[in-house]
Structure 1
Amino acid sequence: MEALKILVVDDEARMRKLVKDFLSVKGFSVIEAANGEEAVDIFFEQKDIVLIILDVMMPKVDGWETCKTIRQYSQVPIIMLTARGEERDELQGFELGVDEYITKPFSPKILAARVDAILRRSKAVTSDDLEVGGICMDRAAHQVTIDGKNIDLSYKEFELLAYFLENQGIALSREKILNHVWNYDYFGDARTIDTHVKKLRSKMGDKGDYIKTIWGMGYKFEVKE
């Protein structure tokens, strides 16, 4: 199977090498770009890039403008990589259609885990079975077990849990959850998500604590170490 191709965009050669070396060990094919202008040219020249890791602060064309340009033509997953950690910057990233926002300094292992999660969600990497923190999901059989015990979930609870498992460690806005679990044609109140999360947590017992609330935004599924 041909290695999945990831574009890493950062004006710091040392940072590009760090990310490239780690992802290459994980079996990905990594292409580098030193600025946004170069990144856009590479992206449209090579049609099989499955994910972009994009720095914000760069010369010529910054990450925001690069993201805007690419989003006009493609929904390829984008991870913003930046030294800025303020909430308004993160919100701007999500408004532009960024899939994840990671603040420097970061753990390469966490970055690789989030790359894998995003690619699973985008169907670049697929599997019918999910297993995280003692939670086992067989999507083909529509069955979930926690520590070996079956739990009874409604259809939407099952889909919601699957979405959380696929996106472990990733902050998910209520809008994203609605769009992916309830689909774009759902016109109800976003509070329906809170109701389903409450029921799901209850059925999961102690494992329900893995679903963290991000106040004012949504939720994040995070397994305790």
Structure 2
Amino acid sequence: MACTTLFGVFLLASFVALGLGVSVTLEAEAFAGKLEANRTIFRSEASNVRNVLLYMDESIDMTFCLGSDDTILIENIYYSNDGSEDLFVLELDGKIIADVSGTTGTDFGNKWNTISETGRVGEKMSVGSGEHTLRVLVDAQDRSKDDGYGAELDRVVLDVANNSDLSCPETTTTSTDNETTVTEETSTTYVEESSTTYAEETTEAETTIPCEGDDC
């Protein structure tokens, strides 16, 4: 098993034959930065003992990169739920690719610590190289029966034909911004110093002109 880093996020890649080639796990809590801190929930049965709570119409975006054109399949979604049935809607780069129903039923809150799985979702997809975003959105099969508790997402497992490293390269935005900032600051300081020097020279010249008698 090899670990790679995606924007500081751990992706677990294991070379297991699942039909395409490489199994890559996207941990939900690694992509929960835009949600409130209390949405990451401790669950002893979850992978990395963490789930992410999503209410109806809420989603989480999982970003990954492919070094070359590839074929991928959503092998499994791991989650927990205690209450009415929820629906997971999946989008890839803004396009809906599949949806799958979660489990239903309650055990007085105890089922939140029971991790369920959907199995394969959707079909194999040909995906180009570069950066991609997999969005998992929680919906309700029947909105009138939504229990208001949502569902907890544990992880999504992708089956990837060729690319085992789905980490994205670091950008140079920060260093570029720093260089621009330095240039702007240097330019501004130079202009200010030039103006100040010019004003001082002018004032000094005006106050040293002699004026006596009929010459005034």
* TM-score (norm: length of structure 2): 0.21
Greater helix share, 1 or 2?
1
Greater strand share, 1 or 2?
2
* TM-score (norm: length of structure 1): 0.20
Flag the structure with more relative contact order, 1 or 2, with Cα contacts below 8 A and sequence separation at least 6: 2
Name the larger-Rg structure: 2
